[in-house]
Amino acid sequence: MTGAPKKRSVEILRELEGGPRGIYSGALGYWDVGGGGDWSVVIRSCFKLDPTYEVALSPKEHHEEWTLGAGGAITALSDRESEWEEMLLKLRSVLRIFGAETDSS
């Protein structure tokens, strides 16, 4: 999910984004013992890390941390404002599930 040519795309993204992307996209699927399977490309994701590895909190505190990834496909023919708005629209739909207030403007 970086573009082409890959090496230069990754260099540009590192310059623009200022930090690591983390997990947000990739292939997700399975193979079965008969040699079949099913695969999809994940372009938006939301996941919770295993609480076994979270920092211990006092018994009265409850803490869940979710990671949400969203992005868009920018091409030479893309309108960057439209791509940005599309990404926000898709992001807001997931944020509402968590009760987060989103600016719809």
| Position 20 pLDDT exceeds 70 | yes
Burial class (CB in 10 A: 0-12, 13-18, 19+), 59: exposed
Token couple for 78: 């893309």
Assess contact for 95 and 103: CB atoms under 8 A. Answer: no
Q: How many CB atoms lie within 10 A of CB 70?
A: 20
| pLDDT bucket at 60, cuts 50 / 70 / 90 | low
Give dist(CA 54, CA 69) in Å, integer. 20
Per the confidence metrics, is the pTM higher than 0.85? no
61/54: higher pLDDT: 61
Token couple for 75: 């091409």
Give dist(CA 81, CA 42) in Å, integer. 23
